[in-house]
């Protein structure tokens, strides 16, 4: 049998298997299986991968995906998504979509048809577009912020990453102030410093992080808060505190207080001066329930023997050597048998890791010379600081986990 016929038969077998899997997951979803939707998406992606030829897969990766990113970023600047949903989402021409910013209708045509090919808009006819569910999401500033932050902060690093790695003889980046980000942005200092100097991107970062959090399980959904934090809580002083370290503008503590009003201890937000200023401007500390405290987590922890030191998406920003400094300061402040460190971060599977975790790992490589970590890597890091992992909690594939750390 000719080689081409053998390959065709093998592809048909693979497609048949993939179709069967899609059908099975589809039936499970329609029957009410709560876990089947994500499995259906994964099986549908497998179907596409086996149905495509290798050349089609290649062109999708080198043509379509980069085009999608840049078209989405330009669309945000052109206010295409906001304009598309206006007037109850009535179909609009390229001329109508261009009017919002005075852009060239010819340019808008090239952007809109790209967005439509990538399902960010629906095409109703030649040069006429209407919004779909993704359009409506991207018309909201907090979700468009994700496009702004990831493109403006990440794409220059991605573009220069191959050249940077060639220059290091392909060593793993581990210097957070001299890595791919600095090479791509032509910047001296940490990526957070660059963010502070670019207020639009800094604001987009906080909006994007907050918006994503709404759609993912909260750490309190998976961690036994009452048993581990409320029960046995010392009533006063530092020992009563739940300290959110590097907690942005305080959303985590606000949500915690709303969910667990019975927690009678102190709620302390620790951040750098600029972020505390932003939180103050938002009125976060006005109720006096949440305390605002300026603190650099590379310096000794001022609150001793707290009930819990919480960090969400903090340690994934830093290489292991700097994580050990952060954890070391917390270890020095902890009360054995009472205090705990709660780390809300991704926990990668050792094999077949979720695409969300893998993508974020590469983003952190480019942005901060840091990484997402597997369970094995988390345990190695934590135990190297003389601390112990008391438990790892997860809910749903691709979400953040919760790692409980104690000092015994």
Residues belonging to the active site: 316
41 and 29 Cβ atoms separated by less than 8 Å: no
Q: Is 398 exposed, middle or buried (0-12, 13-18, 19+ CB in 10 A)?
A: middle
Q: Largest Cα–Cα distance in the chain?
A: 81
Q: Is 317 exposed, middle or buried (0-12, 13-18, 19+ CB in 10 A)?
A: buried
- Which region holds residue 369: left if phi is over 0, alpha if psi is between -120 and 50, else beta? left
Tokens read off for 22: 């899609």
285 and 277 Cβ atoms separated by less than 8 Å: no
Tokens read off for 129: 């577009």
The C-alpha atoms of residue 298 and residue 301 are separated, in whole angstroms, by: 9
**C-alpha angle 149/403/253, rounded to 5°?**
60
Query: How many C-beta neighbours within 10 Å does residue 276 have?
Result: 20
Residue corresponding to tokens 């808008």: 108
If DSSP codes are grouped into helix, strand and coil, which group holds residue 324?
Answer: helix
Buried b (16+ CB within 10 A) or exposed e, 15-32: eeebeebbeebbebbeee
CB-based contacts of 254-259 (< 8 A; 24+ apart in sequence): 254/284, 254/290, 255/218, 255/220, 256/220, 257/289, 257/290, 259/218, 259/220
Q: Between the CA atoms of 250, 73, 82 and 105, what dihedral angle is there, to the nearest 10 degrees?
A: 160
- Which region holds residue 313: left if phi is over 0, alpha if psi is between -120 and 50, else beta? left
Quick one: how far is CA 24 from the chain centroid?
Answer: 30
- The candidate with the shortest Cα–Cα distance to 314, out of 302, 329, 303, is 329
**C-alpha angle 41/221/381, rounded to 5°?**
85
């Amino acid at each position: 049998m000719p080689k081409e016929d053998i390959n065709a038969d093998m592809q048909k077998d693979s497609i048949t298997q993939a179709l069967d899997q899609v059908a099975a997951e589809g039936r499970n979803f329609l029957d009410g299986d709560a876990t089947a939707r994500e499995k259906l998406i994964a099986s549908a992606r497998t179907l596409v991968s086996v149905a495509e030829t290798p050349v089609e897969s290649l062109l999708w990766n080198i043509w379509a995906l980069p085009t999608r990113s840049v078209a989405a970023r330009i669309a945000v600047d052109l206010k295409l998504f906001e304009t598309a949903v206006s007037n109850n989402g009535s179909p609009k021409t390229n001329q109508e979509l261009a009017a919002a910013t005075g852009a060239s209708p010819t340019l808008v045509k090239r952007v809109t048809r790209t967005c439509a090919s990538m399902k960010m808009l629906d095409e109703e006819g030649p040069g006429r577009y209407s919004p779909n569910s993704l359009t409506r999401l991207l018309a909201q500033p907090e979700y468009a912020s994700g496009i702004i932050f990831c493109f403006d902060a990440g794409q220059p690093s991605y573009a220069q990453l191959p050249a940077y790695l060639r220059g290091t003889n392909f060593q793993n980046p581990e210097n957070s102030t001299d890595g791919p980000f600095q090479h791509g942005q032509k910047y001296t200092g940490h990526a957070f410093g660059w963010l502070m100097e670019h207020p639009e991107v800094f604001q987009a970062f906080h909006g994007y992080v907050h918006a994503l959090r709404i759609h993912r399980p909260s750490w309190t959904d998976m961690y036994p808060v009452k048993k581990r934090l409320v029960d046995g809580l010392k009533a006063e002083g530092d020992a009563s505190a739940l300290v959110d370290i590097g907690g942005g503008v305080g959303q985590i503590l606000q949500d915690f207080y709303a969910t667990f009003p019975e927690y009678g201890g102190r709620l302390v937000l620790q951040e750098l001066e600029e972020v505390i200023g932003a939180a103050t401007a938002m009125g976060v500390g006005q109720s006096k329930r949440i305390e605002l405290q300026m603190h650099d987590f590379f310096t000794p922890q001022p609150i001793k023997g707290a009930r819990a030191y919480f960090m969400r998406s903090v340690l994934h920003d830093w290489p292991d050597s700097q994580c050990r400094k952060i954890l070391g300061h917390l270890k020095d402040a902890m009360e054995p048998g009472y205090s705990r460190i709660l780390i809300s971060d991704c926990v990668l599977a050792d094999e077949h890791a979720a695409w969300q975790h893998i993508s974020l790992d590469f983003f952190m490589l480019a942005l901060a010379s840091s990484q997402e970590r597997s369970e094995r890597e988390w345990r190695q890091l934590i135990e190297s600081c003389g601390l112990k992992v008391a438990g790892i909690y997860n809910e749903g594939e691709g979400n953040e986990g919760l790692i409980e750390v104690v000092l015994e």
